[in-house]
Chain A
Amino acid sequence: MNDLISNSDLLRMYRQMVSIRAFEESLSDMFGKGLLGGTSHFCIGQESCAVGVISAARDDDWLISNHRGHGHLLARGLDIARVMGELMGKLSGYCGGRGGSQHLSAIDHCFLGTNGITGGGIPIATGAALALKYRKSSSIAIVFFGDGASNQGTFHESLNMASLWKLPVLYVCENNLYGMSNPVSKSCASGNVAVRASAYAMRGETHDGFDVEHVHRVAGEALARIRAGEGPELLELMTYRQCGHSKNDARVYRTREEEARMAERDCLLLTANSLRRRGLSQEDIDAAAEAARQDVAAAAEAAMAAPTGGRRHALDGLFA
């Protein structure tokens, strides 16, 4: 099945994953320099989930994300400088600095928005799917959320409605084993998230989220079934956030040994290995990574130079 993904496709996916990682490393740097306000949630280690799923989607499938959305935004091909600008509160940002990392939408990219309320995007995605079905569109709504969000009522209520109404929606749970500090073992009575789908007569599967090729394949299969009218699905991707939950997290709830063990499954390492196995030269692989890092560096510079809004921008625009 892996030959479905061409070498150049995989190299492109690798480059995207590197750019997501470089993007967040650059943010980390900016936090250090006091250039960013508030906080931010990095997806270091989880890039394969975003890139695997979104590369399998059509450009007109609608995306909805959560607080940990940089990977999803960049995988959808948003302008990196404008995402960066949004985080820096610049007018050039997708939402002119009003939204920031957790409230960023890009309608031109069919990206309905990231969402700062854990579980808040799940019913919104379900409603987007309702509208798609109502308008007889062949697009699908794809929503990303975490294991922690699967304990919200909105998760259960939404899956129930989507299944009742056979809505075209793919629920993607990135199970990174923790919701902030709380491990899945202490928060999910069901042990894993995918089994919860069975309560709603919905197909639910758990898959390895580190392997971008595998994610791409299973997401593609799920999307094909949904597009064929077989109803919504829940796709649980087992993954790991190598960084802290947000800016300030001493990670007291897990061991450094566990982190080291999980880092062996780093999606960038795995993908680079796969590219080598496919016969690509180290040079080509490094060149892709370097190009990604340069994209981010250029974007950061452009974002830095952009102006911020003023009083009017803060106080206007509450109503349409």
Chain B
Amino acid sequence: MTDDERTIYYSKAVNEALDEELARDDSVILMGEDIGCYGGAFGVTKGLYEKYGAERIWETPISENSFVGVAVGAAMMGLRPVVEIMFMDFLALALDQLLNSAGKLHYMYNGQVTVPMVLRTPGGAKGGYGPSHSQMLSNLLVGIPGIKVVAPSTPAQVKGILKAAIRDPNPVVVIENKRLYPQRGYVAAGDYVLPLDKAEVAAAGKDITLISYSSMTPVCLAVKEALKPVGIDLEVLDLISLQPLDKESIFASVRKTGRVIIVEEACLTGGVAAEVSALISEHCLDALEAPIIRVAAADMPIPSALALEKFVLPQAEDIVAAVKRIQEY
């Protein structure tokens, strides 16, 4: 197969990871709504039901709290359930089992059990889905002890990360993104896994660091390209892992450029950007040549109308404006 043929959609990369893990390990099962012949709301699980059947692909009723709890129970008994929550907003209905069971059981039962489950869910706005189908809720998750949280931004990342998550003995939330599903990228053939706790320099630069994850990484990369002609050399650090944060990579980039803009699709207040910013202030204040800037969604519900959505969500222009500000400081 040529490299060109291995340029696949993000959604296909997720599908491949699931397919390969289902084939590799019979303790892996999938659970979620409409993930059977329908293939999931975003077509991510297409073909898996036909291939693995009802014994491996558990199509659940619309009962988020309980089927996440069912996954916890099955995981405690040694299965490796991979649960799909159709839209990240619906995670609210399952938060109890994530917060009170999945994240706590290994610790509170003193290591007698592990909870090797994965919860995958698409966050973020796709344009016009409106208030209950558009949020990036990474901010809710990173405050839950005992849960690993990753938000890969490319097809290659999501495949290796999801496979690693499935093999990890701990609960892992994999935040996918509706805007990333139709994006393409090169994905190596065959089996590989990526570390769950490492950031990646998506593009090296020397003037200013843009720190981002999920859907905002491609936007940051586009801004980097757009500003190249005017002589601004941006570094883009893709976090990938939100819990734990790869502090070493963050600090290394900050020490290199001395100027930091953190970009995320979640609300401004109390989010990942706020946490990264706090870490930098604690550990690298001496390296900063300008105050840290956060570019994030407004602390608002996301309106349906496309004409309105762009005022709430972070846009490329907002990043460009932040670059200007930080340069002029």
Q: Does B214 make an interface contact (CB < 8 A)?
A: no
Hey, which chain B residues are within 8 Å of A317, CB to CB?
Answer: 106-107, 110-111
Hey, which chain A residues are within 8 Å of B73, CB to CB?
Answer: 64, 112, 123-131, 141
* Chain A residue total in the interface (Cβ 8 A): 44
Known: A134-B29, A134-B79, A320-B170. A154 touches B66 (CB 8 A): yes
8 Å CB interface, B58-108 against A: 58, 60-61, 63, 65-79, 81, 96-97, 100-101, 104-108
Hey, which chain B residues are within 8 Å of A123, CB to CB?
Answer: 65-70, 72-73, 97
Hey, which chain A residues are within 8 Å of B288, CB to CB?
Answer: none
8 Å CB interface, A210-268 against B: none
Known: A120-B96, A120-B101. A103 touches B108 (CB 8 A): yes
Q: List the B residue with the shortest CB-CB distance to A93.
A: B110
Known: A134-B55, A318-B106. A126 touches B111 (CB 8 A): no
Pair A127/B145 contact, Cβ less than 8 Å: no
Hey, which chain B residues are within 8 Å of A104, CB to CB?
Answer: 109
Known: A98-B107, A318-B106. A105 touches B112 (CB 8 A): yes
A interface SS class: mixed
Pair B69/A124 contact, Cβ less than 8 Å: yes
Hey, which chain B residues are within 8 Å of A103, CB to CB?
Answer: 104, 108-109
Pair B63/A160 contact, Cβ less than 8 Å: yes
Select one of A120, A132, A161 contacting B61, CB under 8 A: A161
8 Å CB interface, A89-115 against B: 94-96, 98-99, 103-107, 112-113, 115
Q: Does A117 make an interface contact (CB < 8 A)?
A: yes
Hey, which chain B residues are within 8 Å of A124, CB to CB?
Answer: 69-70, 72-73, 76, 101
A29-B66 Cα distance, complex, nearest whole Å: 38
Hey, which chain A residues are within 8 Å of B72, CB to CB?
Answer: 123-124, 127
Q: Does B169 make an interface contact (CB < 8 A)?
A: yes
Q: List the A residue with the shortest CB-CB distance to B69.
A: A123
Q: List the B residue with the shortest CB-CB distance to A103.
A: B108
Hey, which chain B residues are within 8 Å of A125, CB to CB?
Answer: 73
Known: A96-B110, A319-B170. A157 touches B65 (CB 8 A): yes
Pair A164/B61 contact, Cβ less than 8 Å: yes
A317-B70 Cα distance, complex, nearest whole Å: 24
Pair A131/B77 contact, Cβ less than 8 Å: yes
* Chain B residue total in the interface (Cβ 8 A): 43
Pair A319/B101 contact, Cβ less than 8 Å: no
Known: A134-B55, A320-B114. A154 touches B69 (CB 8 A): yes
Q: Does B146 make an interface contact (CB < 8 A)?
A: yes
Pair A99/B110 contact, Cβ less than 8 Å: yes
Q: Does B312 make an interface contact (CB < 8 A)?
A: no
Pair A154/B65 contact, Cβ less than 8 Å: yes
Pair B70/A161 contact, Cβ less than 8 Å: yes
A317-B104 Cα distance, complex, nearest whole Å: 10
Pair B106/A153 contact, Cβ less than 8 Å: no
Hey, which chain A residues are within 8 Å of B107, CB to CB?
Answer: 98, 317-318
Q: Does A158 make an interface contact (CB < 8 A)?
A: yes
Q: Does A142 make an interface contact (CB < 8 A)?
A: no
8 Å CB interface, B292-322 against A: none
**What would be 7 A-B contacts, judged by CB atoms less than 8 Å apart?**
A98-B110, A117-B101, A120-B97, A125-B73, A158-B66, A160-B61, A317-B106
Q: Which 8 interchain pairs have the tightest Cβ spacing?
A: A127-B73, A123-B69, A157-B66, A131-B77, A157-B63, A127-B70, A124-B73, A320-B169
Given contacts A107-B109, A117-B96, 15 further A-B contacts (CB under 8 A): A94-B112, A98-B108, A98-B109, A99-B109, A105-B112, A116-B100, A117-B101, A122-B69, A123-B69, A123-B70, A123-B73, A129-B73, A130-B74, A158-B70, A320-B170
